[in-house]
Structure 1
Amino acid sequence: MLNQNTLPRSKSLEEVNASVDTTHQKSFWRKLFAFMGPAYLVSVGYMDPGNWATDIAGGSQFGYKLIWVLLMSNLMALLLQSLSARLGVVRGKDLAQASRESYPKIINIPLYILAEIAIAACDLAEVLGMAIGLQLLFGWPLIWGVSLTVLDTFLLLFLINQGMRKMEAFILVLVSIIGGAFVLEMLFAKPAFSDIASGLIPSIPNNTALYIAIGIIGATVMPHNLYLHSSLVQTRKFERSIDGIRKAIKFNFIDSAIALNLALFVNAAILILAATAFHKNGMFAVAEIKDAHKFLAPLLGTKWAPILFAVALIAAGQSSTLTGTLAGQIVMEGYLNLRIQPWLRRMITRLLAVGPALFVIIYFGEEYTSKLLVLSQVILSMQLGFAVIPLIHFVSNRNGMGEFVIGTWIKIGAWLAATVIILLNIKLVFEEISGWLATASHPTVIWLTAVPLAVAALFLLLYITFQPLVVNALRPHTVAPHHRAVEYQPLAKPIYSRIAITLDFSEVDKHVINNALAIGNQAAEYVLIHIVETAGALVWGEDIEDFETSSDQKNLDRYAKDLREKGYRIKVELGYGNPKKCIPKIVKNFDAELLVMGSHGHRLMKDLILGTTIDSVRHSVKIPVLVV
């Protein structure tokens, strides 16, 4: 199921990967502090504006009776987030990267599309939530607030360039603002603690309560957080020994437990506030954020209650949009192995959320934004299983996880949580589509669009659930051990003595190198070539100093070190700008007798944008060219 080797691969969130060193901390508390941070970025997804609507609806309609649902959702989230962190720590891959390596392309493409749609849906709720908060606090039109959220992209770029710890500190400040605001709200509301305790007893009063409970679970256990957490834990540099990995898993679990319990407090506070302020006063129909804000002051008797509510909503929207955009980058790089400029990745993710919000506000009016929030949660629910099920398969696979594979009881708990989440969300989707069919003026449109998509999603869900089990049962196979060295099988005598090899740091490189070494053998001299194609490299050439250039140089050096240790004579050359011009120049300067290149899959639009490098290079050199 896994295909690993020692050749360099693109790392998850490469600009901050292993940027926080924990190896110098000796005491328990210092080491714990060094590991703490990733879970706080994850926790903001559990207190985003999408959660507020379900918590307010649950509290206003059913009082404290659904608090147990929040507690159950939090336990599920803690279990799944701990599995996500384990995957990132042990295998050094995020969930998207592991999926790309484990499933065929025909499955990975729809998984990627669904992940992007889910992240856009999440981001949509967060954008609208922040815009509503700005409107409630300052009276701004929603369209202003939505447009302003585009600037979050540049805020994220600034923060991540300042280092992971500063970004985590910024998010922690926002989380503290949310938590502090609701501590004060609780003081204003003065809830009865005996009533709160009664809400811990499981009960579902009616079908409406079940629907809201499903919404609470769907809004709490969100798929993009699983991608995010498996990547963020890799920002910590720790000793890659058995003991070091075990300690990293333990500290990340503690981090998750603290952060997610803080998120539980915020969600419970919102529900309790709605129960105390609205349900006890006979206001059972308060389900929208704007209505909740409007009624807080007269019911609680203080003007500060709605102000704190709006401030917390803005902080929740701001923090959630930052982490949602990071998740978009992780998914794009993990599934597609696509290297584009960070600011462009983040702008694309943000525009996918801002576009629908602006469209609805302009063409339908602000009153339709609540319906858009509901739709975003339904879309989010549909995608949840496509992240949870692969995660459980990956951490249950002994060949990939070694001795850190999850135990039987954890596996049972994970599958039980996944089953509950998926069945409840299937019911939610079914109910929502049934509602559309009952109220739509043209139900045929629903039958031709939403229904086939839901059926296709169900079949995809069944495939990723049972495919690994069927394959393991029917076709025994030997999986490469973790960190297996690449095996080269060269011919007995070299044919060429000077060979140039072009690399792009993808899976193709292994085959390119194998072919080159088979032809040349250890008596030959090789030059490894990679071209930096960024805009800065095109303008500044070898004078460019940026992260991608230094990263590419380190990757080349890793290739060279690996091959030199096997006895090969290796040089490295980093070119800058247009590969069609740089590669022939380096080949001629090296006086190469053979050039080996990989067919790296540039097709259609990529050929139009980047050009057909192989054809141009082949016609520019006077030596044989082997295309692998």
Structure 2
Amino acid sequence: MFKLPTTATAPFCPSEVKGSVIVAPGAPLWKKLLQFAGPGLLISIGYMDPGNWATDIEAGSRYGFSLLFVVVLSSLAAMVLQCLAMRVGIVTGRDLAQLSRERYSKPIANAQWLLAELSIIACDLAEVLGGALAFHLLFGCSLMWGVVFTAFDTIIVLGLKGKNFRDLEAIMLGLIATIGVGYIVELALVKPHWPAVAAGLVPSIDVLSSREPLYLAIGILGATVMPHNLYLHSSIVQTRVVSRDEASLASAIRLSRLDTIVSLVLALLINAAILILAASAFHATGHTQVTEIEDAYKLLAPIVGTGLAAILFAVTLFASGQSSTFTGTIAGQVIMEGFLRLKIPCYQRRLITRALALVPAVIGVYLMGNGAVGKLLVASQVVLSLQLPFALYPLIRMTNDRALMGKFANALHTKALAWLLFAVISAANAWLVVQTVMDWFA
């Protein structure tokens, strides 16, 4: 197949970083844990992007801590699905996109590729809007100029060319730490009522008995489980050199599972912190209609009594958008290489994705002004929701396949849980899409 010429594009090209992190077979456990730590961090970034911010802020401001349990359950579901993606990558030595190309007919594989590319663009649209809004809040520029400025993140991607994969993981850790520290300080300033927070962790069917909180709960679910993260995770776990014997594979799966769970717990804590902040700062003070990120920023300073909370809010929003941009670029490379066997330099991939995301962002901001951010963020989550079942179905089928996975195929209880999650997530996302389209027409 025709292949475009490439340059040294690590750490973004999956084929160039496969097996690039050496794992010493006789190393002590603590050292092995450190060597396997990293891929989960890149995955966790997708679970704290601006799309999550929008749903968590609205949930906290409108319903207080009542929907906090939805954030927790959605994150637990994500852990299960990401562990499946991790396992199929380690056991087969191929990622989900490569396996889909091999196991399905060309028309079906091409349809999967198009849907996966749509999810990348939809996700990047959220990063454009988040980055543009951060520029607008921090520097006072118009939202349109903020959108334009986000186009220059390709320069950052070019600056990473030639870095190894561990460098990228360290950068992601730094950005996650920025977000985490920012929210720790903000929560300290807001002083939540922790017994009420604890009560919000208890699942309640009554909370979801009416349409609006149910709609928002499904939005949280749709914003949490990202389809492109499944493709990405199945690829980047292969950066670790692992022997192909059963004992080595089993050890790699255990260590990678721990990396995945710890990283997604961090993402869970940050998403919970966003909702807790919104519930404490807005819902508790009577501001129950804060549905836009910009409104949250403007209200924080007068409510908390210091401008530091608002500044930290904007800085963490910027860190969220930039970190998600990097992982979106890698996911795009994984999908393109896996489905099409086509490899292009990372900056070209970045330019293509960002250009396609800029078009709806510019049109939306031009037609709707600052109000475009919330509407387009919702639209991006709907697109992601539409694509998710098409990534989940082959993942579950493959991990259930004993001919492919051998002794590492899903056990009966894992099969049941995976198909239950598929049914719940697919039904919830279908309901979200239908309700959103009905709202648009209304």
TM-score w.r.t. the length of structure 1 is 0.67
Larger radius of gyration: 1
SS at match of 1:161: coil
1:262-277 to 2 correspondence within 5 Å? 262-277=266-281
Q: CA deviation at 1:362?
A: 3.2
Are 2:54 and 2:374, in contact at CA under 8 Å, matched by a contact in 1?
no
Q: Which has the higher strand share?
A: 1
Could you tell me how far apart the structure 1 residues matched to 2:368 and 2:282 are?
29
Distance in 1, Cα, partners of 2:269 & 2:352? 33
**Aligned match for 1:285, one of 278, 283, 289:** 289
Amino acid at match of 1:102: R
Query: Which of 219, 228, 235 is 1:224 aligned to?
Result: 228
**How many angstroms apart in 2 are the aligned matches of 1:402 and 1:159?**
38
Contact 1:18 1:236 in 2 (8 A): yes
Moved segments of 4+, more than 3 Å:
none
User: Which residue in the other structure is 1:355 paired with?
Assistant: 359
**Equivalent position of 1:138 in the other structure:** 139
Offset of residue 181 of structure 1: 0.4
Residue pair 1:12, 1:94 contacting (<8 A) in 2 also: no
- Code of the aligned partner of 1:407: A
Distance change >3 Å, CA 101–CA 363, structure 1 → 2: same
CA separation in 2, counterparts of 1:68 and 1:87?
29
Q: Deviations over 1:186-238 (max 9, x none)?
A: 10111111101111122225210000000000000110111111111011112
Quick check: 2:175–2:319 contact (8 Å CA) kept in 1? yes
Measured against aligned partners, the alpha-carbon deviations of 1:280-307 in whole angstroms (never above 9, x if no partner) come to 1111100100000000011111111000
Q: In the alignment, does 2:191 pair up with 1:187?
A: no
Deviation at 1:363, TM superposition (A): 4.3
Aligned-partner residue type, residue 92 of structure 2: R
Distance 1:149 1:81 in 2: 29
Letter in 2 for 1:338: L
Which range is displaced more, 220-229 or 339-348?
Answer: 339-348
CA contact under 8 A between 1:12 and 1:231: conserved in structure 2? no
Amino acid of the structure 2 residue aligned with 1:303: G
- Distance in 2, matches of 1:138 and 1:173, equals 23
State the match for 1:377 in structure 2: 381
Shift of 1:24: 5.2
Report the CA distance between 1:365 and its aligned residue. Answer: 2.8
1:245 aligns with 2:246: no
Alignment of 1:81-100 (within 5 A): 81-100=82-101
d(CA) in 2 for partners of 1:56, 1:86:
33
- The residue correspondences of 1:36-51 to structure 2 (distance < 5 A) are 36-51=37-52
Correspondence 1:314 to 2:315: no
Which of 244, 255, 259 is the equivalent residue of 1:255?
Answer: 259
Cα deviation for residue 242 of structure 1 reads 1.0
Change (3 A) 1:25 1:354: farther
The residue identity in structure 2 corresponding to 1:311 is: V
In the superposition, relative to structure 1, how do residues 157 and 87 fare at CA in structure 2: closer, same or farther (>3 Å)?
A: farther
Q: Identify the residue that residue 542 of structure 1 maps to in structure 2.
A: none
Separation in 2 of the partners of 1:51 and 1:249?
28
Distance in 1 between the 2:142 and 2:60 partners? 28
Measure the CA separation in 2 of the matches of 1:238 and 1:102: 24
* Matching residue within 398, 419, 424 for 1:415: 419
Deviation of 1:375 after TM superposition, in Å, equals 0.9
Query: Does 1:431 pair with 2:432?
Result: no
**What displacement does 1:364 show?**
4.1
Give the Cα separation in 2 of the matches to 1:386 and 1:65: 31
Aligned to 2:33: 32
**Partners in 2 of 1:40 and 1:96 — Cα distance?**
21
Map of 2:126 onto structure 1: 125
Matches within 5 A, 1:450-529: none
Residue 176 of structure 2 aligns to which amino acid in structure 1? V
d(CA) in 1 for partners of 2:45, 2:134:
16
**Aligned partners of 1:152 and 1:322 also within 8 Å:** no
Give the aligned residue type for 1:294: K
Q: Distance in 2 between matches of 1:165 and 1:371?
A: 37
Matched, 1:103 2:107: no
Shift of residue 410, structure 1, vs aligned partner: 1.1
Is 2:212 the counterpart of 1:208?
A: yes
Q: Give secondary structure in 1 for the equivalent of 2:322.
A: helix
C-alpha distance 110-48 of structure 1, shift in aligned 2 (>3 A): same
What is the distance in 1 between the residues matched to 2:107 and 2:242? 36
Shift of 1:25: 5.7
State the match for 2:8 in structure 1. none
The equivalent residue for 1:235 is 239
- The Cα shift of 1:406 comes to 1.3
In 2, are the aligned partners of 1:134 and 1:145 still within 8 Å (CA)? yes
Shift of 1:70: 0.7
Name the CA distance, whole Å, in 2 between partners of 1:359 and 1:124. 12
Deviations 1:532-556 (A, max 9, x none): xxxxxxxxxxxxxxxxxxxxxxxxx
CA distance in 1, matches of 2:236, 2:309: 35
Matched-pair contact (CA < 8 Å) for 2:82–2:260: yes
Give the match for residue 70 of structure 2: 69
Alpha-carbon distance in 1 for matches of 2:418, 2:387: 17
How much has 1:22 moved relative to structure 2? 0.8
| 1:48 partner letter | D
Q: Distance in 2 between matches of 1:140 and 1:360?
A: 17
Partner residue of 2:302? 298
Over residues 328-354 of structure 1, what are the superposed CA-to-partner deviations in whole Å (9 max), with x where a residue is unaligned?
A: 111111111113333222221221212
RMSD of aligned residue pairs (Cα, Å) = 1.5
Q: Does the 8 Å CA contact 1:326/1:346 hold for their aligned counterparts?
A: no
Question: Separation in 1 of the partners of 2:249 and 2:23?
Answer: 12
Q: Is the contact between residue 333 and residue 349 of structure 2 (CA under 8 Å) also seen in structure 1?
A: yes
Kindly indicate whether residue 201 of structure 2 is the aligned counterpart of residue 197 of structure 1: no
Task: State the match for 1:399 in structure 2.
Answer: 403
Residues 127 and 353 in structure 1, CA contact (< 8 A), matched pair in contact too: yes
Does residue 327 of structure 1 match 2:328?
no
User: For 1:281 and 1:149, how far apart are their aligned partners in 2?
Assistant: 34
Partner of 1:578: none
- Superposed displacement of residue 166, structure 1: 0.5
Q: Which amino acid aligns with 1:249?
A: I
Task: Give the number of the structure whose residues are more often helix, by fraction.
Answer: 2
Deviations 1:437-476 (A, max 9, x none): 3x3xxxxxxxxxxxxxxxxxxxxxxxxxxxxxxxxxxxxx
* Match in the other structure for 1:539: none
What residue identity is the alignment partner of 2:179?
I
2:297 maps to amino acid: H
Q: Distance in 2 between matches of 1:187 and 1:322?
A: 30
Contact 2:13 2:346 in 1 (8 A): no
8 A contact 2:157–2:346 mirrored in 1: no
Return the structure number with greater relative CO, CA threshold 8 A, min gap 6: 2
Asked if the contact 2:95–2:234 (Cα under 8 Å) also holds between the matched residues in 1, the reply is yes
